[in-house]
Amino acid sequence: MLRGFEKRGLVARTRSAHDGRQSHLALTAHGRKVFAPLNARSHDEVAAMLGGLPPTAQAQAIDAMRTIERLLGDPTGPAVPPAPYVLRAPRPGDLGWVVHRHGAVYAHEYGYDETFEALVAEIVARFVQRYDAKRERCWIAEQDREILGCVFLVKKSRTVAQLRLLLVEPRARGAGLGSRLVGQCVRFAREAGYRTLTLWTQSELLAARRLYVAAGFRVVRKERNQSFGKELVSETWELKL
């Protein structure tokens, strides 16, 4: 095929100056002229395929292409830094993601049954129904338009706020996202005028407990109970603001 292109004057071959076994190929002026309409048709075909998609689907397709390029690209080439995490307010559909991912992740990693997912659904529903925009927040963590985590801060009393539903997807752990979500809650609680930030967790959630210790929380109460199909030790933590 290459010899045919050479005979037609489409490509020129130059022997490598560093390795005589290798040659470099390049389009000739005639080759570029022949290639131009082919490249234009290919461009138009891709544009037609993407043009039929709504803007959100176009963005998803491009993100998927970037993922393929990153995974199958030259491992010796320069590393492409990942996009930064964005913490944003929830959009329609995000709260369903919160319930679904809590149920799926905790069932897989800790063996929690469907009653845990039901509890998460209740917490989310109560947050929406009683939302106080001045004193409550939900943050969705996103990277390259993919949701990778969440956390809620809800009002428990005039002076006490509660951190709830902290979740970081397994593939996003170890990069500081959990600490950032907890820190966001602490900052907002102080700005909103709360005096204490509390949370409720289980003693077996070791990774989350390390985040709470690093943020300055301390355990104030422990209680054995039967929850989510397991025998657990529940813990209440507090941080004085």
According to CATH, where is 3.40.630.30 located in the chain? 86-240
Residue 161: CA atoms inside 13 Å, Cβ hemisphere, count? 27
For residue 70, is pLDDT > 80?
Answer: no
Q: What is the pTM of this model?
A: 0.69
CA dihedral 186, 192, 197, 200 (to 10 degrees): -90
pLDDT tens profile 187-225: 999 999 999 999 999 999 999 999 999 999 999 999 999
Q: May I ask the CATH class of domain 2-72?
A: mainly alpha
Confidence class for position 78, pLDDT limits 50, 70, 90: low
Looking at the domain 86-240, which fold is it?
Answer: Aminopeptidase (3.40.630)
Percent of the chain with pLDDT over 90: 65
According to CATH, where is 1.10.10.10 located in the chain? 2-72
Strands across the sheet containing 196-202:
86-88, 137-143, 146-155, 160-168, 196-202, 230-240, 218-227
Q: Count of residues for the chain?
A: 241
For residue 16, is pLDDT > 90?
Answer: no
CB 2 within 8 A of CB 9: no
pLDDT at residue 213, rounded to an integer = 97
